Structure 1
Amino acid sequence: MDSRSMYDVQINSRYNDVYEKNDLPTGNYEVVTDFLTEEGIAVSADCAFSLYLPNCEDFHDRVKHEFPVVAISLSDYNAIREMLGYEAITLEENEFTTQWHTTATTDEQEEFIRSHAVVDTDVGRLTLSEQASYQEAMGETLYNSYTRVVYVFPDSVCQNLLSVNRNRYIQTSKELSYSDAAALENRFIKVYPELSENGVGYSIRLSTLQINEAKGMNFILKTAMIYGAVVLMVICLTILSLQQLLDAGQYRYRFAVLRKLGVEEQDIKGLVMKQLGVWFGLPVVVSIIVSAIVVAYFLQSVSVEISAYIGIGALITQLSITISILILLLVCYFLSTWILFRRSITE
């Protein structure tokens, strides 16, 4: 939520389904301003800005994962940075820099910067600034579809470029109530649908709604998965325990023979412990090995997202809680089976 809901009100548009330049979005989403005024909700920061195509001819490039990188003006970029508590940046004339999504890797940035040290725009050529990139968290809607970088151009350059997206970020003086956030979302959707008739896609994110929905979904997901893990664990351990206890009659005779041969009772207890250790330990060891392989592959494939959105510490804490529950179940089943088995062979 720290990455997705950085603003109390976050509005963005998409031109993915727009094929006429005259249909591109304009305006500052006045319906939001009207709602905040009517409800007496004070605003501490407000930035409406456009995202531009460096080259107008890129407007019709709609190949998935090959959308062009868009640009933001320096003044709008600094306004957003100030809103989030970051220091403003400066650019010389005919210079540009880049802003990266928090999930972008260092190798990805370096490769892009090497191949884009110079950018040709509709109003001339720009060269990369000495400070080539920034990666502070600034939300997910700052970037074009399927891209994780945005150019930062001087204002004089952006004034002559094609504006394709129109966004607005708002910070309110106090947190929006759930009812106000829901009412604002409903009013916005009526005026700016998810996909309008001219192909423009609109989206509004309100931190109050997102946080509540995310917490609810996260709780349901965690509960369902932990419950499922516990149920499966109970089924497996019950089968293992019953298998040993049902065969206790056969083992009673075998251990009685060992006693007659002079085997000490303490040694018999050790043999029982080893036998149950094998029957319980082998499935557990196999499951741990398989789980370790799956978890290692999963963590490797989404390590950047985990680091950017969750944090390794938080993930380890969640995993530790789940693993502790499963270990507690294993210990309870093992001890209860060991006690019952010993009584069975003794009688």
Structure 2
Amino acid sequence: MKHLQRFLKTGVIALVLSTLFLGAGAASAAVPWHIVQANESLWQIARTHEVTIERIKTLNRLTSDTIYTGQKLYLQEAKYHTVQPDESLWIISQTYGTSVDAIRQLNGLNSDNIYPGQKLKVIDGATLSSSAPAPAPAPAPAPSPSPVISRPTPVTNWPSITYVVQYGDTASTIAKKFGVPLNDLLRYNYMEPTDWFDGGRKIAINGYAPRQYAVYPGMDAAPKRIGHLVDWFLDGQYILKRNDVITITDVLTGERIQVKMMGGYNHSDIEPLTTTDTDKLRRLFQWNWTWTPRAVVVYKDGMNIAASLSGMPHSFDTTPNNGVSGHFDVYLLNSEAHGWADPGYVGQHAAQVQKAAGR
């Protein structure tokens, strides 16, 4: 009997020392559940996955140590998330370190459509009473009717006469060249008298330039973390005008930054408005300026637009007291680089724009 006691005591000490010396390397990878194999016991499963027998019994509502081959035993408790306004499946997946596909499967979703207040399982595991989704709340009373904002009619084709702006051209010289009223030339190209044409840009002379009107003023009451896909050339360049002050919302963190539109005809060039806004940018890019972009949403005049923001200040600067020299690139759907650029860089922006649209 003494020999047996000494053997058991030595075995326990050896197991403890083995765990201390081997550390994490001896532990199996964390998994949400375990399928019982032939001849396995609760003690073996608990040891393999570094969880207590009592915890396994609690998670699986076992009243004894009896288990059977093929039985599915949960090793962790499920995690749930209540959807917040403006959240997408991509945002939620990034928050919990999982994937959109995994969340869809856990909740039996056939699409990416979710709504505020919806409770989603985000980490697989046992559902105990404390983590079970609460009953759906009673429907809220219908809100008061809001004013109907109609979408302008899209323009699908260029007019019969167009022109590619030459460097040195002005609205006045172009209007005179073609014998059209200056106000009409500006109106056909969705411009104000204070705007000017960029060299190399195609413009309309005797009719309206194409517009999709994917967004229009008053659509949204406040900045969001999901934006609408807006083609830069068919809408974006006419919405984001030189010297506009706009709000940029980072999709992943929700951080909001005030910026000034500096210009740009293939994409938007922006500058942070103040030193506070520059500090926010530095935090977003982890205090290390980089060309690698982030998914953001641009908000202007009640319109939330999916976009991508790079973190590298460069070239011209028109806001001298904001704590950084240079401007930053903001891409919308189908934005292009100024001149030659690495296709990979443009592709990174394109991917982030899709994320900003919740896709």
Normalising by structure 2, report the TM-score. 0.20
User: Which protein is bigger by CA-based radius of gyration?
Assistant: 1
Normalising by structure 1, report the TM-score. 0.21
Higher helix share: 1
Relative contact order higher in (CA < 8 Å, ≥ 6 apart): 1
